[in-house]
Amino acid sequence: MSVTREDVLNVLKTVKDPVSGKDLVEAGLVRALTVDENGARFVMEIDPAKASVLETARAEAEAKLKGMGIEKVSVAMTAHSAAPKPPELKGTARPKPAGPEAIPGVARIIAVASGKGGVGKSTVSANLATALAAEGRKVGLLDADVYGPSQPRMLGVTGRPASPDNKTILPLRNHGVTMMSLGLMIQEDEAVVWRGPMLMGALQQMLFQVQWGALDVLIVDLPPGTGDVQMTLAQKTNLNGAIVVSTPQDIALLDARKGIDMFKKLNVPIFGLIENMSTHICSNCGHEEHIFGHGGVAKEAEKMGVPLLAEVPLHLDIRTASDGGAPIVVSQPDSPQAQVFRGIAKQLIADGRA
Ligand SMILES: Nc1ncnc2c1ncn2[C@@H]1O[C@H](COP(=O)(O)OP(=O)(O)OP(=O)(O)O)[C@@H](O)[C@H]1O
């Protein structure tokens, strides 16, 4: 697909928000837009009382994007109020006690977080999970990124998880990693209104009703930012620590700092920062350039007293590997790019953290 993000935004600017009278982009309704060869997806954050009015705009946006030749368009509407109907998850959403609860069989939980979207948090999670599996660890990966669940694609997993007893959910497995994703519970092209309580219910079901089996470590790929999902994870589970991914740009770092502050307030140890897209390595000639600047994350880590776990280069192979369903750690395990992720995994194991 040769349609760019810019093209998509231009089309969305032609769709009117019936509430404010502005276009969807100007009205700030378009969030977490992703445009790639798999199609276009974004989230519309709306006032739940206006859901039915905005459905027309959502449908118009979807139709217009499909009219541009984009085959797969997914527009999710999110809101924050009581939900009339839960998602398609089966089973009973047991009310949880206020305090943290252990997930049966799961020895450790590590959250992978970022202050900002698109910095490579899911890429890091997928490569870290497969790198830990390559070291012989029993690894689970929970994709809790509701705004853009990408682990099914990155780990090459398709199909819907089964729930034979209607109470527990059987996770999927690939590349030695046991995986569950909110993205597998919704149909592609399906518009879902993720309301706050519903989202929290779904997250708790993913954590406690999935048959994870015996795991040395469960990696949780969080949505960007500092919202309900982060809070729920920290408050309801024995979260051992968080890894924060940032690119070197100031704005990403500023957001990363907010994320770190949040985890500190929630008493979650920060295992370290990862600078992603640290330096660009040309896949043709190997020339190295610091497109987004360099060293910012290292400086920030020092200032905040948290370790810098790694600097991951921006390299075409990292993207194509993830898009192809086999992270670079699996598809080119001996490449220097894969070695960076394998180094993080070895360090976490050596420190008893994974
Ligand atoms: N080091 C890298 N080199 C090349 N491409 C990368 C790298 N890291 C991430 N990417 C690409 O950048 C895009 C965004 O990455 P990713 O989906 O991992 O980000 P994210 O932080 O999880 O985003 P979001 O949470 O907003 O969905 C993807 O297409 C991914 O393949």
Q: Which of 55, 46, 48, 54 is nearest to 81 (CA)?
A: 48
90 pLDDT higher than 60: no
Q: 324: how many CB neighbours lie within 10 A of its CB?
A: 14
8 Å CB contact between 46 and 53: no
Dist CA 325 CA 150 (whole Å): 10
ipTM: 0.97
Give per-residue pLDDT as tens, 259-286: 999 999 999 999 999 999 888 888 788 8
Q: The pTM is what?
A: 0.74
CB of 340 within 6 A of ligand 1: the answer is no
Query: What pLDDT shows up at residue 188?
Result: 57
State in Å, rounded, how far the first CA of the chain is from the last one. 39
Which residues pair with residue 111 across a beta bridge?
A: 220, 242
Which residue among 34, 42, 123, 219 is best mutated to probe the pocket of ligand 1, counting the most ligand atoms within 8 A of its Cβ? 123
Ligand 1, atom 29, residue with closest C-alpha: 319
Ligand 1 atom closest to the Cα of residue 36 is 29
Q: CA distances (Å), 46 to each of 30, 308, 333, in order?
A: 10, 37, 43
Q: How confident is the model at residue 195 (pLDDT cuts 50, 70, 90)?
A: low
Dist CA 84 CA 48 (whole Å): 11
8 Å CB contact between 194 and 203: no
CB of 244 within 6 A of ligand 1: the answer is no
Asked whether residue 116 is marked as a ligand-binding residue, the answer is yes
CB of 314 within 6 A of ligand 1: the answer is yes
327 pLDDT higher than 50: yes
The pair of three-digit structure tokens given for residue 15, joined into one six-digit string: 């769709």
CB of 210 within 6 A of ligand 1: the answer is no
Q: How far is the CA of 319 from the centre of ligand 1 (A)?
A: 7
Give per-residue pLDDT as tens, 58-72: 999 999 999 999 988
Ligand 1 atom closest to the Cα of residue 337 is 1
Ligand 1 atom closest to the Cα of residue 123 is 18
What are the φ and ψ backbone dihedral angles of 66, each rounded to 5 degrees? -65, -35
Asked whether residue 120 is marked as a ligand-binding residue, the answer is yes
Dist CA 282 CA 138 (whole Å): 34
Dist CA 268 CA 262 (whole Å): 9
- Helical residues (DSSP H) of the chain, grouped into ranges: 5-12, 51-67, 121-134, 151-154, 196-208, 228-236, 250-265, 296-304, 316-323, 328-331, 336-350
CB of 255 within 6 A of ligand 1: the answer is no
Query: What pLDDT shows up at residue 283?
Result: 79
Give per-residue pLDDT as tens, 299-316: 889 988 999 999 999 999
The pair of three-digit structure tokens given for residue 244, joined into one six-digit string: 């924060």
Q: How far is the CA of 155 from the centre of ligand 1 (A)?
A: 14
